[in-house]
Amino acid sequence: MNQPILVTCPHCQAVNRVPADKLGDNGTCGRCKGALFTGAPLTLNAANFAAHAEKGDLPLLVDFWAPWCGPCRSMAPAFSAAAGQLEPRVRLGKVNTEEEQALAARFGIRSIPTLVLIRHGREIARQAGAMGADDIRRWTLAHLG
């Protein structure tokens, strides 16, 4: 039997059951009819973070960044490219540490950019420093097994 995967909608945060073999079929949300995968990182904040980090079955790769940070700005296109490469296996999101200081404190972010890989609400890996798209993809997949 094909066990369903819980996928949180990037638009309305509704949790959708998607058959594992249909993840790559450009599914839409049962509530809002938006695309479940956009090929781009989500903007995460206090209001939607838990829905993506804790409720869904997809691992969540979070880029903790700030607008004033040069390495963060230089890594942004690579992180966006990695989203296109890693979806639908992994959800990618960005947390602006200037606007979401409580989230940054919750994860003990000391330097930026910092990537944190989360599965079912638990951190499974962390990497500080800017990386290219291929390095982000390799690092993420290596920690997912």
Q: Which residues are catalytic?
A: 69, 72
Does this model's pTM top 0.85? My answer is: yes
Whole-angstrom distance, CA of residue 106 vs CA of residue 92: 18
pLDDT of 51 = 96
For residues 19-26, average pLDDT:
91
The SS3 of residue 73 is helix
Token pair, residue 18, equals 């998607």
Residue 139: is its pLDDT beyond 80?
A: yes
pLDDT of 135 = 98
CA triplet 31, 4, 81: central angle to 5 degrees?
A: 75
pLDDT of 90 = 97
Beta strands in 75-121 (DSSP E): 91-96, 114-119
